[in-house]
Amino acid sequence: MCLRGVRSYFAFSAEQRTGIVILFAIIIVLQSVYFFVDFNETQSVSPNKQKWLAMQSEIDALKESNLKYSAKIYPFNPNFISDYKGYKLGMSVSEIDRLLAYRKENKYVNSAKEFQAVTKVSDSLLNVIAPYFKFPDWVKSKLGNKGYVKYENKPFAKKEILSLLDINGATQEDLVKVYGIGEVISLRIIKLKESLGGFVSMEQMHDVWGLSPEVIANLNSHFKVYALPVVHKIDINNASLKEISQFSYFRYALAKEIVTYRSMNGDIKNVEDLIKIKGFPVEKANIIALYLDF
């Protein structure tokens, strides 16, 4: 009785048997396709892609080298460290502020030891950055003297000041000896001097494009104007518009204002008349007047 019950589960009709056979046939076909057919498609690779794939090892090597890259530190004068520069060197905010406060008093550090005394940086950080300190040559020569003594607020300290050269007699070789001045800037200084006929004041160094306040201070410690040069003065009341506009301190628009002013008000007699002209650089009036003939 029990066997009959079980056999009833395996009793199929003709249609069911046909369906089972077809199902087994489909399974066998699919298994055969899976085992005997290669599904890895051969992709066509362009020449450019083949070239990049060939360079992959080189690219990987470059990536690895970039991970090991560390920023190179170039020689620098520690007196002129900015906030960003100090941060990149590993200095704390308080250490940078101490240096900036010291510089605001118009004081300079002349050695790594003085730098540490002012900023309070650690010995470990000083050992890393001190080899890159670059001080002016005159500082090195002073520190190299065995009998050197640092004088402060004493009358005879002036004996330590280097003899100054006349800026109007300075050559390019003289200028490039100053820390912060290279071949390009030295040529700009000489060209401005030649166009004016000579400098009448060291304040004119501010008119040379590319000179920072620190470099101008270095120039002032090496050069001065000993005597006013003999220059070809511009007859401001009779010169033509073209002649006036060719002067280094007068652009064409200002030259037109000068011609207009003198045609409406008569001759320009002095500096007071000059500063009444629209667009005239008042802060340079006294210097410009030395190149004019009233």
pLDDT digits (tens, 9 = 90+) for 98-136: 988 888 888 888 888 999 999 998 988 888 888 888 877
Report the amino acid identity of residue 162.
L
Helices (H), 197-230: 213-220
pLDDT at 152 over 60: no
Domain 234-293 in CATH 1.10.150? The answer is yes
Side-chain half-sphere exposure of 241, counting CA atoms within 13 A? 9
- 199 vs 231: CA distance, rounded Å: 9
pLDDT digits (tens, 9 = 90+) for 16-53: 788 888 988 899 888 887 777 766 655 555 666 666 66
Helices (H), 132-212: 137-144, 172-175, 183-196
> Which range has the worst mean pLDDT, 27-41, 171-185, 193-207?
27-41
Say if strands 292-293 and 223-224 run parallel, antiparallel, or are unpaired: unpaired
- 187 vs 167: CA distance, rounded Å: 13
Query: Does residue 205 contact residue 168 with C-beta atoms inside 8 Å?
Result: no
- 186 vs 208: CA distance, rounded Å: 10
Query: Does residue 164 contact residue 223 with C-beta atoms inside 8 Å?
Result: yes
CATH 1.10.150.320 domain extents, the chain: 161-224
What is the residue-averaged pLDDT of the chain? Answer: 81
- 111 vs 151: CA distance, rounded Å: 16
Average pLDDT on 181-187 reads 93
Tell me which architecture the domain covering 161-224 has in CATH.
Answer: Orthogonal Bundle (1.10)
Instruction: Return the C-alpha torsion angle 81, 119, 126, 146, nearest 10.
Output: 90
Q: What would the two tokens of residue 96 be?
A: 């940078």
Helices (H), 37-110: 47-54, 56-67, 83-89, 93-104
DSSP conformation class of 76: B
pLDDT at 254 over 70: yes
Q: How confident is the model at residue 79 (pLDDT cuts 50, 70, 90)?
A: confident
pLDDT at 61 over 60: yes
